[in-house]
Amino acid sequence: MRVVHSPHEVYALVDFERRNGNRVGLVPTMGALHAGHISLVQQAKLQSDIVATTIFVNPTQFGPKEDFSKYPRTLESDLEKLDSVGCDIVFVPNSEQVYAPEHSTYVEPPKVANRWEGEIRPGHYRGVTTIVLKLFMMVPAQVAFFGRKDYQQVAVIRAMVEDLNLPIQIVTCDTIREPDGLAMSSRNRYLNDSERSRALSLSRALKAANSMVEEGCHNVADIENEMTKILLNAPVDSIDYARIVDGDTLEPLSEVTSPAVAIIAARLGTTRLIDNSILC
């Protein structure tokens, strides 16, 4: 496994592989790798010849009051995990190599970024689209892998790729869960025991939404009420949203019609968790 710090070096490496006829798969991450990230690398191994993972805690996608400085940084164990699953290239740039001190160019996010995370975390998706485009330029892979746990993020990246005619395929991979249902997230490590057990209400609420739809309920208000009830019973400390939305546009629905997805963001103590489930 090659660990590369320079953007020029990673570009040259990937370019070389492509010239040799290899398909390069990219897994962008912010490190603090868990089984969800590792499953992206495994999926990338299945669908490409060479896998490049990037580790970069991107400052521009964190708000001023968010957890950028305390975001977990676990490079040594990240590298061990990547090596053990056969990752070929790891790109670990430092901040100045990605954002020059005088940088002032950003990617305006697409419309699908406006609601939900976009509303609650102003500037977040501008940071995501900017870094993801920059990573696509620095690591010119043919295919990139993202987790469905960040449902809106994948929708934003797919729209950017289409709107900007970027020559890269996007593959969305399933959310990986703990045996008790908690979606894997680098932020789970912030949870104390009480918060961890109350956090299970997110996956429980999503399961309930799925069951209601399976049993024939199409009334969005009824399903959203049930999800909210489950979250408040846990209780979570606050709910940012627990909604049923159109799976493509992320606009609210009043009737469950395909594609529909249930999305939740809630806080446990100082930790904010998101989760989602495709309903139909």
SS3 244: strand
What is the CB neighbour count within 10 angstroms for residue 262? 28
- CB of 58 or CB of 201, closer to ligand PAF: 58
Closest approach of Cβ 197 to ligand PAF, in Å? Answer: 25
- CB of 154 or CB of 239, closer to ligand PAF: 154
- CB of 43 or CB of 153, closer to ligand PAF: 153
Query: Is 124 an active-site residue?
Result: no
Which of the following is catalytic: 37, 103, 124, 218?
A: 37
Interatomic CA distance for residues 228 and 241, integer angstroms: 9
Rg (CA), the chain: 19
Q: Which of 13, 17, 25, 28 binds ligand PAF (CB under 6 A)?
A: 28
Residues between 143 and 162 that touch ligand PAF (CB under 6 A): 150, 153
The reply on whether position 30 binds ligand PAF by CB under 6 A is: yes
Interatomic CA distance for residues 41 and 107, integer angstroms: 26
DSSP state of 216: T
The reply on whether position 131 binds ligand PAF by CB under 6 A is: yes
- Residue in the structure block whose two tokens are 């961890």: 196
- CB of 29 or CB of 228, closer to ligand PAF: 29
Residues between 47 and 76 that touch ligand PAF (CB under 6 A): 58, 61
Q: Which of 24, 26, 82, 128 binds ligand PAF (CB under 6 A)?
A: 128
Interatomic CA distance for residues 226 and 219, integer angstroms: 11
Closest approach of Cβ 121 to ligand PAF, in Å? Answer: 11
Beta bridge partner(s), residue 246: 260
Q: Which two tokens stand for residue 259?
A: 């594609």
Closest approach of Cβ 150 to ligand PAF, in Å? Answer: 5
- Residue in the structure block whose two tokens are 């070389």: 16
- CB of 131 or CB of 220, closer to ligand PAF: 131
SS3 194: helix
Give yes or no for a contact between 46 and 133, defined as CB atoms under 8 angstroms apart.
no
The reply on whether position 141 binds ligand PAF by CB under 6 A is: no
- Residue in the structure block whose two tokens are 């991979």: 173
- Catalytic residue IDs: 37
Residues that bind ligand PAF (CB under 6 A): 28-30, 58, 61, 128, 131-132, 150, 153
